[in-house]
A and B are shown apart, each in its own frame.
Chain A
Amino acid sequence: METEVKDRDFRLFVKTVRQYSKYDFSDYSDKSLKRMVAKVLSDNKTDINTLLCNISNNREYLDNIINKLTVTTTELFRDPLVWKYLRKNVLPGLKTWSTINIWHAGCSAGQEVYSMLILLNEAGMLERARIIATDINSEVLGIARSGKYRYSFNKGYLDNFDLVMGNKGDKSDGVTHVPYSRYLDIDSELDTISIKPFLLEKPVFKRHDLVAGEITFPGKFDLVICRNVVIYFNYSLQSRIFEMFYNHLHPGGFLVIGNHEKIAAPVSDRFIKTGRTYKKAVTF
């Protein structure tokens, strides 16, 4: 049986975090967040009162707790069909653009950021790409910057890679075999999959809390990628965030979300579902 946190204690936790930091978890999906709080309590072998006391007194402790509250699951080319769609149907349409601005919102440890960079390089568009990748969790951003992942738990990355590149006999698209070594250094002894340096230097990773609303970096984007992030938010917070994405997309730009997510109202009807992406309507 898992440990649980009482409703009252949970509300007190959210309130205390809001009071002592700039983070507001009030509009998170409650069941998942409650479970994360319970996990923090049991991992730290502490009770709610001690936790709240530490949060209100110790900035560093608070930051560490924030990191522990977010779900960081991701993969290289997670849901390969999405990436295959981007490679075949979206990137060719952006080929003539002088710059391509991309925002990965909630990028976690960066696997999908590098997935995109690999596709951009294959399409010969890497030079013109400007990439910003943000997350609330400072710990995973550190991993993202290093571009180093465990090999043993992540062999699935390579299967995804093959699927997206058509390395396994999918000759219909006329693509030649793309070797891992073009982008990845795989060392089974050290148990690492490392992203090649020429990709590492490309994205700007930045700590940013989607809940805070306005973005602290300039610009409009051609592509916003935010997959399996807003599922941790309630519907009204989702609405605000999708509106923000809408405002920061160029007309004709693309939003890419998780396979089991949909765009919340009111901006939902200002996007046109295009394959596995949502395209911002040109005029409205």
Chain B
Amino acid sequence: MYRAIIIGGSAGSFQVVARILSTLDKDFPVPVLLVLHRLKHVRSGFVEALSIKSSIPVKEPVDKDYIRPGFTWLAPSNYHLYVESGNRFALSTEPQVNHSRPSVDLSFFSAAKEYRRNLAGIILSGANKDGAAGLKMVGDMGGTTIVQDPSECQVPVMPLESMKLTKVHYVYNTEQIVSFFKKIRENGQNRQ
């Protein structure tokens, strides 16, 4: 059973994220963490834009919030988002990593350390190598690694860099990622 699913994306990932979130509902059994690079000037309205597409509440965590299911947790703009011990979020204003804050790598590293094999990491479309080392860490710690099929990506650099660094478990197109979530939803229900 996964304890979290973490998604990293940059340029070209918004539509994919919106598609995935549109298929989830508030009873989805696993917390979904979103780490997306955002342009500084569009920081406000981003949650709203995603919420419109989403059937599960999208929330920017407040520091030390518990990482609970029933939400999509979106890394706030201008902060790094860590998964802290005790199943809480921690925010940080450390300098940019890979020219990014939030950095996908930092979130993936910390989530991998905390959740190990109970984590799925997904890297979507993007123009930056941020996230590649993070996804490798997810795999090294025993978690599941997924990248969006580069041939489908608007900007394939992020998935390609990830594939260069580690042998990813699955290369999925958007609809296959959607079914991955669907399976988790069904398994979760069976268990209850």
Q: List 7 A-B contacts (CB under 8 A).
A: A32-B90, A35-B106, A228-B91, A234-B64, A235-B64, A235-B86, A260-B91
Say yes or no: B62 contacts A261, CB within 8 Å: yes
| Contact among B63, B79, B84, B93 with A31 in the assembled complex (CB-CB below 8 Å) | B84
Say yes or no: A73 contacts B82, CB within 8 Å: no
Q: Which residue of A lies closest to B137 (CB)?
A: A1
The residues of B with any CB-CB pair to A shorter than 8 Å are 60-64, 76, 79-80, 82-86, 88, 90-95, 105-106, 109-110, 113, 133, 136
Per-residue B-contact encoding for A243-284, CB less than 8 Å = 1, 0 else: 000000000000000111110100000000000000000000
Contacts A261-B63, A262-B62 given: A29-B84 contact, CB under 8 Å? Answer: yes
The residues of A with any CB-CB pair to B shorter than 8 Å are 1-2, 29-32, 35-36, 71, 73, 228, 230-232, 234-235, 238, 258-262, 264
| Contact among A30, A36, A73, A260 with B63 in the assembled complex (CB-CB below 8 Å) | A260
Contacts A2-B133, A260-B61, A261-B62 given: A228-B93 contact, CB under 8 Å? Answer: yes
Contacts A231-B63, A260-B79, A264-B64 given: A1-B133 contact, CB under 8 Å? Answer: yes
Cα–Cα, bound, A15→B152 (Å): 50
Q: A29-B84, A260-B60 are in contact. List 11 more A-B contacts (CB 8 A).
A: A30-B85, A31-B92, A31-B109, A32-B92, A36-B94, A73-B93, A232-B92, A234-B64, A260-B61, A260-B79, A262-B63
Q: Determine how close the nearest CB of chain B comes to the CB of A239; give it in whole angstroms.
A: 10
| Contact among A73, A232, A261, A264 with B95 in the assembled complex (CB-CB below 8 Å) | A73
CB neighbours (8 Å) of A35 from chain B are 94, 106
| Contact among A2, A31, A231, A238 with B83 in the assembled complex (CB-CB below 8 Å) | A31
| Contact among A2, A231, A259 with B92 in the assembled complex (CB-CB below 8 Å) | A231
Per DSSP, chain A at the interface is loop
Q: Determine how close the nearest CB of chain A comes to the CB of B132; give it in whole angstroms.
A: 9
Contacts A29-B82, A31-B82, A31-B84 given: A231-B90 contact, CB under 8 Å? Answer: yes
Q: Determine how close the nearest CB of chain A comes to the CB of B60; give it in whole angstroms.
A: 7
Cα–Cα, bound, A232→B92 (Å): 7
How many inter-chain residue pairs (CB < 8 Å) link A and B?
66
Say yes or no: B64 contacts A73, CB within 8 Å: no
Q: Which residue of A lies closest to B80 (CB)?
A: A32
Q: Determine how close the nearest CB of chain A comes to the CB of B79; give it in whole angstroms.
A: 6
Q: Which residue of B lies closest to A73 (CB)?
A: B93
| Contact among A1, A36, A231 with B91 in the assembled complex (CB-CB below 8 Å) | A231
Which 10 A-B residue pairs are closest in the complex by CB-CB distance?
Answer: A31-B82, A73-B93, A29-B90, A231-B63, A31-B110, A32-B92, A231-B91, A262-B62, A235-B64, A1-B133
Most B Cβ at <10 Å: residue of A71, A73, A260: A260
